[in-house]
Amino acid sequence: MQPNFSTRERILGVAETLFARHGFAGASLRQVTAAAKVNLAAVNYHFGSKESLIEEVFRRRLDELNRHRLAALAAVATNPGRQLEDVLDAFIRPALEQSMDSAGGAAFVRVLARAYAEHDERLRRFLSDNYGYVLREFATAFARLLPHLRKDELYWRLDIVAGALTYAMADFGMIKRKDDVSEQNHREQSAQHLVRFAAAGLRAP
Amino acid sequence: MQPNFSTRERILGVAETLFARHGFAGASLRQVTAAAKVNLAAVNYHFGSKESLIEEVFRRRLDELNRHRLAALAAVATNPGRQLEDVLDAFIRPALEQSMDSAGGAAFVRVLARAYAEHDERLRRFLSDNYGYVLREFATAFARLLPHLRKDELYWRLDIVAGALTYAMADFGMIKRKDDVSEQNHREQSAQHLVRFAAAGLRAP
DNA sequence: GTCTATATTTGGATAGAC
DNA sequence: GTCTATCCAAATATAGAC
């Protein structure tokens, strides 16, 4: 993290990186404050507790990410043909963009993957309370496009697809592109691969 | 965990469950020993350290799992046709069997998923040193079946597939089957879904 | 807002009796 | 092999000066 940011921002950035690398329980506030070159007490001053710091790490990026996802999903609805791929794209592409945009965005995608693996009740409730409606929007869209699937079968597949995508995107954040491929091109190809991968899984009989 | 097992076995079983639920850093030895109804000191007596306990949780199941995987892989080699699906099946099915066999097997599949997400150096080295050759065997088999893919492209996809499968299997461990579907049938169908899902991803152009 | 110092809790590990 | 008691380190959190 750049030292020219405010204390608060430096903590958030470093925490994001360390949570991605060691998990929420595995990264201590001491590691975070040391790496951010701020005082230990600063975390409690700015965030109140480790729990709240974790939530703030999510909030900082999820608000924007989900806004983009919903906008992309809305754009699909009016546009017939290739709809399953388009809905998947609406879910994947914003995460991909974010992971390559801002410094630290790549780390956040890994944090998301961690969250998916965590079964911590408080964390799950926080995410469900604040961002659950986004997933429900997508689930509704998928249900409309895959009417032949029973409800439980659909949810089962969506859960698998969500897990697969989350992890694929997390790993993707670490893939180095070749020098002869533009950033734009690389992102484009990767998104297409993931969409095709997921669509095939959802369409299975 | 059944109370009629030995102290050592009870610790392993409970540790497996709690590591699956809270992660390696998130589950304390005190939680483990309390849930196993054994004394705190028993962990160090039987395993020496938390680190060694974690390794033993893996060793207990991975030895068997990987033996089955390699046996299944060897059986594929002599058998032409549908080979990509067969190799995937050789990887998936043993994990699925294990997850439904023994009590606690389902938890272990989740522990595997955790390990996949962990970037802890010691844990990764332990797994790589002891079980890396299995993954290399599979990678070789895939490389033979997908000769049109560049080496880096292949590794990228295998990593994604491995992540997707690991997570799919972990989630699968929690799916309840319907009463009108036999255990056998349920397992069979799930394995087929996962194989199809992964094969489609690997075959993408 | 930031720092030092410290309170409090929790967790891993051990010593020594039984 | 098991238990109690305890040590020590690490972690979260807070108090209070600047």
In whole angstroms, C15 C1' to B200 CA is 59
Per-residue pLDDT, averaged over B3-30, amounts to 94
Structure tokens at B141: 């088999």
Instruction: Answer yes or no: are the C-beta atoms of B187 and A198 closer than 8 Å.
Output: no
pLDDT tens-place string over residues B130-177: 999 999 999 999 999 999 999 888 887 887 788 777 877 777 666 666
Q: Rounded to two decimals, what is the model's pTM?
A: 0.92
Tell if the CB–CB gap between B164 and A159 is shorter than 8 Å: no
Fold (topology level) of B54-203 = Tetracycline Repressor; domain 2 (1.10.357)
Identify the residue with better confidence: A63 or A166.
A63
> In this complex, do B160 and A168 lie within 8 Å of one another by their Cβ atoms?
yes
The tokens describing B73, both together, are: 């892989």
Lowest mean pLDDT among B9-18, B57-66, B118-127: B118-127
Q: How much is the average pLDDT of B83-93?
A: 94
Substitution target from A19, A120, A167 for chain B, most B beta carbons within 10 A: A167
> Residues B74-102: what's their mean pLDDT?
87
Q: Is the pLDDT of residue A55 over 90?
A: yes
Q: In angstroms, what separates the C-alpha of B79 from chain A's closest C-alpha?
A: 25
- Tell me, what's the pLDDT at A174? 60
Would you list the DSSP string of A7-43?
Answer: HHHHHHHHHHHHHHHH-TTTS-HHHHHHHHT--THHH
Q: Six-digit token pair at B95? A: 């994990």
Among the residue ranges A24-38, A190-204, B122-136, the one predicted with the least confidence is A190-204
pLDDT tens digits for range A104-115: 788 998 898 888
What number is the average pLDDT over the span A118-141?
Answer: 91
Q: What is the mean pLDDT of residues A44-53?
A: 97
Give the pLDDT confidence of A182-196 residue by residue, as tens digits: 767 777 777 887 888
